Amino acid sequence: MNILSLTAGAASMYCGSCLRDNALAAELIGRGHDVMLLPVYTPTLTDEPNVSKGRVFFGGVSVYLQQHVPFFRWTPAFLDKLWDSPWVINAFATGSISTDPKLLGDLTVSMLEGESGLLRREFDKLQEWLAHVGQRVLRERRADLVGLGRMVLSYPELAADVLAGRPLDRKRICRTFSDCTTAPRKGLPSGCYPLDPFYAERPEAAELKEIKQALRA
Ligand code: SF4
């Protein structure tokens, strides 16, 4: 069985769920299953060999900065790599972590808002990573086909770039604005109006903009 398990880290604290997730993944790996244990928020701290991956998604430092300081929602990717590195997260997370509901309430709402919330960028990182997971699944012959849905509308060469090991053109990755589905529902051609210049320059682009404004009003 191939399993992707997301485990929420608790920084420098021993946490029951980290220990449980790690023990479960280690046992499944020992029984011959392919388990990818992926930490979110902070790296995990375990009392047994840690089988989680080194990469952290929804890194605690990035999440905090993007939630509270608008500037950090637009900083270059290389800075995010710095904030998301396990040693930086661990350095910031030593000591106690506030669980004040006044601070965590807004953060919870942002998480629930997903791609349309303040933490959109963190969802984007997960989305950018999925194509690489797909190529590994194919390379190891665990599936005959991996579909990336509307991502190929905004970025048709995405699969070729991943397979060739080229860096992704992040500006062309689908950000789920949903123009490609809103347009045909309103009798217009489907296409990626926000990111594909061909559709952006069509007269229907202005029409679609008006329709969306009317829907929001
Ligand atoms: S219109 Fe939006 S949802 Fe559709 S492909 Fe383009 S970015 Fe993705």
| pLDDT for res 95 | 64
| pLDDT for res 128 | 83
212 lines ligand 1 (CB under 6 A): no
Count Cα neighbours of 196 within 13 Å in the Cβ-side half-sphere.
20
What lies within 8 Å, CB to CB, of 107 at 6+ separation is 63, 67
Instruction: End-to-end CA distance of the chain: give it in Å, rounded.
Output: 48
| 149-38-49 Cα angle (round to 5) | 155
192 lines ligand 1 (CB under 6 A): yes
Contact in structure between 184 and 190 (CB atoms under 8 Å): yes
Atom of ligand 1 nearest to the CA of 153: 5
Q: Work out the burial of residue 203: count CB atoms within 10 Å of its CB; fewer than 13 is exposed, 13-18 middle, 19 or more buried.
A: exposed
Contact in structure between 46 and 99 (CB atoms under 8 Å): no
| Spacing, Cα 174 to ligand 1 middle (Å) | 5
Digits of tens for pLDDT over the chain (217 positions)?
888 888 988 877 788 888 999 999 999 999 999 898 999 999 998 889 999 987 899 998 999 899 999 999 988 888 888 888 888 888 887 766 666 777 788 989 998 998 888 998 888 888 888 888 888 888 888 888 888 888 889 999 998 998 898 988 988 988 888 899 999 999 999 999 999 999 999 999 999 999 999 888 7
177 lines ligand 1 (CB under 6 A): yes
